Chain A
Amino acid sequence: MNKYILIFIAFLAIGSTVSAQKTFYTKSGYIGFFSTTPLENIEARNNQVVSFIKTDKGSLSFGLLVKSFKFKNALMEEHFNENYAESDKFPKAKFKGTITNLNEIDFDKDGVYNAEIHGKITFHGVSKEVNVKSTLTVNENKLKGKSTFYLKPSDFNIDIPSVVRAKIAKEITINVDIDYKIYKK
């Protein structure tokens, strides 16, 4: 009988550790990218970004469908999908990483925190390690994440023909703006 009590306690212990950590999530996050050259400005917005943050280890993940990037110019959108991002072949883009300064962030206390994130971006079949600075705002069980960073198309094996090279910036600005809520299964 003692054994069963022991097991029961073990059971409870495991159960309580599971509920102690928080998972934040969204499936309507925003990621946009901008390319600015003297010849042409290109802007694309994606409002269907899925993202999760687990507070215990500070692990976070982002995922999006490349096709969900919307451009103002329909032809640009088609060229982006067909010729550059090849979204039929590589439909998803992902980021998996961790918050490296987790000890400076208290997800239970309201406030604005600077988070440093290290992780891997996978896009167009190529993975690249990046370090990104971001701001996290904790407000009553809600979490807001914002970040801006830069990526080079050439790092992701994206072939840009010489005719349009002058119209596409060497470095693309990526903006991330996400409102998280508590994830319930």
Chain B
Amino acid sequence: MKKTFFLLAIILFVFGNAYSQDLDDLLDAELDNTKSYTIATFKSTHIINSHTVAQLKKNHLNFIIYHRFGALSSGIKQFFGIDQANMRLGFEYAINDWITLGVGRSNFEKTYDGFIKMRLFRQSKGGKWAMPITLTYLGMSEIFTKPFDNPNLNNYFTSRLTYIHQLLIARKFNEKFSLQLMPTVVHKNMVKTVIEPNDLPALGIGGRYKLNKRIALTFEYYATIRPSNNIVEYHNPIGIGLDIETGGHVFQLILSNSGMMQEGGFIYGLNNDDFFKGDIHFGFNITRVFSFNKQ
């Protein structure tokens, strides 16, 4: 009798299990196995001055107007920085969903810049090869077109060039909070003095925290690695911002210690001010995305 009971128990166990796996469990198992990519890690293609991992969709054009006023600490004489302004105009165009090309023009040293932004892989959940982060490579070059400071020197065309290589490593932790690490190398073909490095390594960190569906707080900071014999006082770039999204536009209001908006400028930090002494630049970015896809 004991044996019978035992066998019956086994049978019930086996078939009981088969029945309890109802449609809902099957459904969940299939859905959890479906790959889904993280979207909207950042709303805009820029945190403040730095690029984000946000890619434009194929055939979309992004037009950005960057504007930085002078330092707030300049007082009433300069109307708290409003009298001076730096600008950059940027155009970004996505040739596919993972490669964006861009050009820009800054009035600081009359600099033209161009970049390529390539997404290598995306943060994803479920399925094979789920990735915890999004990784993007950014390669930039800049050329300043203002006259050389010292025209008597033997100045070459290549002296005008700056190159920047950057990796963007981003993770969206939850619907509100995203963080991005930015290992960077800035190479300047020509530097102002012999003790300044041609190659400047830097590690940037940036992030955003959404306050509600349309407004987010952002920040960015770069730690630069400089030679110890540097006599010039540099300030690492630091900035905080507020993203306001209104349909097709993103408005970014910014407080930063840098009046420059191109990477070779603000990361290298030639003219960065002391944020904590109140040498803060107010500024804004306005972006507008145009779609060239046939509807």
User: A residues bordering B, Cβ < 8 Å?
Assistant: 3-4, 7, 10-11, 14, 18, 25, 27, 48, 50, 52, 54, 59-65, 67-68, 72-75, 77-79, 81-83, 86, 88-89, 91-92, 94, 96, 164
Contact = CB atoms under 8 A, between A and B. Distances in A.
Contact of B23 (A67, A68, A96): A96
Given A60-B23, A63-B27, A74-B57, A48 B34 contact: yes
B213 interface: yes
Interface of B: 4, 7-8, 11, 15, 18, 23-24, 26-28, 30-31, 34, 36-37, 39-40, 56-57, 60, 174-175, 213, 247-248, 289, 291, 293, 295
B15 A3 contact: no
B36 A67 contact: yes
Contacts of A88: 174-175
Given A27-B34, A65-B36, A88-B174, A74 B11 contact: no
A64 B31 contact: yes
Nearest to A52: B23
B130 to A, nearest CB: 14
A65 B34 contact: yes
Contacts of A74: 56-57, 60, 291
B57 A50 contact: no
A52 B39 contact: no
A32 to B, nearest CB: 16
A14 B19 CA distance: 11
A94 B23 contact: no
